[in-house]
């Protein structure tokens, strides 16, 4: 693992690191904030998964999460959203290819050799983190924005007991029925829609739900709300009677101004679960 940078922040350290990834077949970069308490022993870990076009850096610099994580003694990890580099497949569109990994393991050419973001986030990066840093593997939580909200919800429901809580900012809630989803799932996973279901939060809520607290914020003025389909997820939560907080935030859009506005509440929400 290579240290790209380390900066003192809110009493802790905001680092950026890279490593050779077997899952993605390229070098991957991630950000990690460690609060001061990590100097004395393992601390809880909150995962933040970013959305389309983002790298590890967007939320790390725009979400304002470190201040609130430091207040609660929680580490934050900011993975990248896709593999990158020479030889990694890409597409001219912003919503496919590099920057748009969708947190799945691609099975189709030309994506299959590198686009294995599910294995990277669920298996490989945790091994890197828990081997290299003072983090408590038994206390994890997960959140994300847009495509990252989709990833956070699907991972949380697919690994029962791993994450004590899950939250999302404007998640892509029903990708199997949306243009933000059908395009990417067909490209990465093929035309058999049965293979898509494991990556649809609405379908997963109906099938299994989440055994822990769930918080979802959605801006009422989100310019992409028709693609996100929050109403489908709300209906599934109601049908299953899944314990959850779902908040429609009046006047907020899809930007990081929205994320930053409610980040304090999301970190406090996860702190309750991680320390409860």
- Catalytic positions, written as ranges: 146, 222, 254
Pairwise CA distance, residues 18 & 22, whole Å: 13
How many Cα atoms are found within 13 Å in the side-chain-facing hemisphere of 75? 23
Reply yes or no: is the peptide bond before residue 110 cis, omega within 30 of 0. yes
The residue whose two tokens read 């109403």 is 231
Neighbouring C-beta atoms of residue 235, cutoff 10 Å: 15
Pairwise CA distance, residues 87 & 21, whole Å: 14
Question: Tokens in use for 214?
Answer: 């769930």
């Amino acid at each position: 693992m290579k240290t790209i940078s380390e900066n003192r922040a809110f009493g802790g350290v905001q680092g950026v690191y890279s490593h050779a990834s077997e899952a993605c077949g390229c070098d991957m970069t991630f950000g990690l904030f460690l609060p001061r308490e990590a100097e004395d022993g393992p601390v809880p870990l909150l995962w933040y998964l970013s959305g389309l076009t983002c790298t590890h850096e967007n939320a790390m610099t725009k979400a304002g999460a470190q201040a609130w994580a430091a207040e609660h003694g929680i580490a934050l990890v900011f993975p990248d959203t896709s593999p990158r580099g020479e030889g990694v497949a890409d597409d001219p569109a912003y919503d496919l290819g590099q920057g748009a990994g969708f947190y799945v393991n691609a099975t189709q050419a030309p994506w299959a050799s590198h686009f294995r973001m599910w294995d990277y986030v669920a298996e490989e990066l945790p091994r890197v983190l828990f081997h290299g840093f003072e983090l408590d593997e038994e206390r994890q939580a997960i959140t994300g924005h847009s495509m990252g909200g989709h990833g956070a919800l699907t991972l949380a429901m697919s690994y029962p007991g791993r994450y004590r809580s899950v939250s999302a900012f404007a998640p892509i809630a029903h990708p199997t029925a949306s243009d933000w989803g059908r395009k990417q799932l067909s490209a990465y996973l093929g035309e058999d829609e049965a293979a898509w279901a494991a990556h649809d939060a609405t379908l997963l809520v109906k099938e299994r739900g989440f055994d822990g607290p769930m918080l979802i914020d959605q801006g009422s003025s989100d310019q992409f709300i028709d693609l996100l389909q929050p109403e489908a997820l709300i209906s599934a939560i109601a049908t299953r009677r899944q314990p959850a907080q779902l908040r429609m935030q009046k006047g907020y859009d899809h930007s990081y101004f929205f994320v930053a506005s409610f980040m304090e509440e999301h970190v406090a929400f996860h702190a309750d679960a991680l320390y409860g």
